Amino acid sequence: MVCPRIPRYHSLMNISIYQRMSRGLLIAFCLILTGFDGFDCSSDDDSDSGSTNTDIRVVDEQKISANSGNFDGNLDPGDRFGSALANLGDLESDGVTDLAVGTPFNDDGGTDRGAVWVLFMDDTGEVDTEQKISDTSGDFNGSLDDGDAFGSALASIGDLDSDGVFDLAVGVPGNDNGGSNRGGLWILFLDIDGTVLDSQKIADRTGGFNGNLDNGDRFGSAIAEIGDLDGDGVTDLAVGAPNADDGANNAGAVWILFMNIDGTVDSTQRISRIDGGFGGRLTKGDHFGAALAGIGDLDGDGVPDLAVGAPGSDDRGAERGAIWILFLEEDGRVRDEQKIADREGDFDGTLNNDDQFGSALANVKDLNGDGVPDLAVGAPNDNDGADNAGAIWLLLMTTDGTVDGWQKVSDRAGEFNGNLDADDKFGAAITGLGNLDNSNIDDIAVGTPGNDDGGQDQGAVWVLFMDITSQVTP
């Protein structure tokens, strides 16, 4: 026997006295009957918003693919354009944010070597021009090998070399330095036209990195700029190794890289089930470190904090997924942590088995105006509309790392009117884009690497123009 569904309502909508009374009676009814054997009072709520503060929604969208958005680059089947995204700032100084897009299975120079597209955007979400960076394009002189999957992860790292242009970190989790699939990343010093002025590789015993990597770790599967942890004036990085076996098979790990201005590593700190002061419980197959996002100083202690995805987490069901909020120390160790998962961390959105919530993460600034940075979380295997069509969750955060409210965006939620198909995997990558349309809220880019425009798995990116009906007074 299942308790009657308890509806949930947007707080900003007009809720009648009757609705409130009805909801209260249902709750009381459930509480009375919980003592009966076989009676399940859990909610099967599928509502798309749990915000107590605001109503966030998509007001327009623009698709970028082989057939859309004025993108003139050449994509091939299986490229998986949109597997990673990064906000590059305004490279060419035209007043519009530009975008880096990962295409990790591009075959320039060899099989699955990968590529990155730099998209110079206009305020409609379409592409003005583009520049490809690969083994054979964009003045990139680094050496790529088959299976490197260059472009699997991207992170804007600010102006590392102080030349006035944002620089870019690019993951190569299939890199074989030191052993099979140990992984790595490239630091790209960019020019205003999106080409590469210089580059520095970081991998096993390369680029000043002396941490211990094992075969199959896939270090570089996720990258995030986290600010200047140690106060030396140089931006530091977090790098995911989601297949690391610290404490359990594929439990995962995160490396904190304290950087030099030349793109080399000064020192490191590993965070895992057995290292770095992390007190949370990780289990086999969690893939902690599959996604990362710097979230600024969430708790106001003067040290930047970090969000980490664990999409293989089995909270309340197989691979429903989870994220961890890590409150960091200046040395990169964890002072405290908060888990967000199905019915944990005050998150009560509906997750299903194999959603893989936490596959992508992005800091989307302060959506509701309460002074706390908020998060976008990808669940690319969500089945809204079709199998593995995908979804993202917008989480309104609190300073203790719990969730104050949320909004789901999918084929059936958040007023998204774009067409998603089975296996599109909308939400495999996310980044904030700044306020492209000069509304009262920043816009968001979402990767859809399984999209079939132009050919199977060529991939796509959706630009979501967001709006908000009301903001909280801090």
pLDDT grade for 12, boundaries at 50, 70 and 90:
very low
**pLDDT value for 437:** 84
Q: What is the DSSP string of 130-161?
A: EEEEETTBTT--S---TT--BTSSEEE---TT
Q: Is the pLDDT of residue 3 over 60?
A: no
Cα radius of gyration (the chain): 22
Angular region, 29: left φ>0, alpha ψ -120 to 50, beta rest = alpha
CA distance linking residue 79 with residue 231, whole number of Å: 40
| β-strand partners of 100 | 86, 118
**pLDDT value for 470:** 57
Q: Is the pLDDT of residue 473 over 60?
A: no
Q: Is the pLDDT of residue 144 over 60?
A: yes
pLDDT grade for 53, boundaries at 50, 70 and 90:
very low
- pLDDT digits 0-9 by tens, 370-429: 999 999 999 999 999 999 999 999 999 999 999 999 999 999 999 999 999 999 999 999
- pLDDT digits 0-9 by tens, 210-256: 999 999 999 999 999 999 999 999 999 999 999 999 999 999 999 99
- pLDDT digits 0-9 by tens, 320-335: 999 999 999 999 999 9
**pLDDT value for 469:** 73
CA distance linking residue 165 with residue 195, whole number of Å: 11
User: Is the CB of residue 142 less than 8 Å from the CB of residue 186?
Assistant: yes
Q: Is 18 exposed, middle or buried (0-12, 13-18, 19+ CB in 10 A)?
A: exposed
Q: What is the DSSP string of 14-30?
A: ---HHHHHHHHHHHHHH
**pLDDT value for 8:** 30
- For the stretch 434-440, contacts whose Cβ atoms lie closer than 8 Å and that sit 24 or more positions apart, written own/partner, are 434/87, 434/97, 436/96, 436/97, 436/121, 436/123, 436/124, 436/125, 436/463, 436/465, 437/60, 437/123, 437/124, 437/465, 438/123, 439/59, 439/465, 439/466, 439/467, 440/467, 440/468, 440/471
Tokens of 307: 């969000």
Q: What is the DSSP string of 400-469?
A: TS-EEEEEEEETTBTT--S---TT--BTSEEEEEE-TT-SSS-EEEEEETT--TTSTT-BEEEEEEEEES
Cα distances from 244 to residues 67, 185, 308, in angstroms, run: 38, 16, 14
pLDDT grade for 55, boundaries at 50, 70 and 90:
confident
Q: Per DSSP, which regions of 181-288 are E strands?
A: 184-190, 196-203, 222-227, 236-241, 253-259, 265-272
pTM, whole model, 2 decimals?
A: 0.89
Closest by CA to 41, choosing from 16, 72, 6, is 6
Closest by CA to 136, choosing from 179, 183, 74, 84, is 74
pLDDT grade for 456, boundaries at 50, 70 and 90:
very high
CA distance linking residue 287 with residue 359, whole number of Å: 9
Q: In what order do the strands lie in the sheet with 265-272?
A: 222-227, 236-241, 253-259, 265-272
In terms of pLDDT, which residue wins out, 201 or 54? Answer: 201
Place of tokens 């796509």: 460
User: Is the CB of residue 5 less than 8 Å from the CB of residue 29?
Assistant: no
In terms of pLDDT, which residue wins out, 5 or 184? Answer: 184
Percent pLDDT > 90 in the chain is 84
Closest by CA to 82, choosing from 466, 455, 451, is 451
Closest by CA to 182, choosing from 226, 237, 242, is 242
H helix and E strand count, the chain: 1, 24
- pLDDT digits 0-9 by tens, 14-32: 333 333 333 344 434 433 4
In the predicted model, what is the mean pLDDT of residues 447-472?
Answer: 90
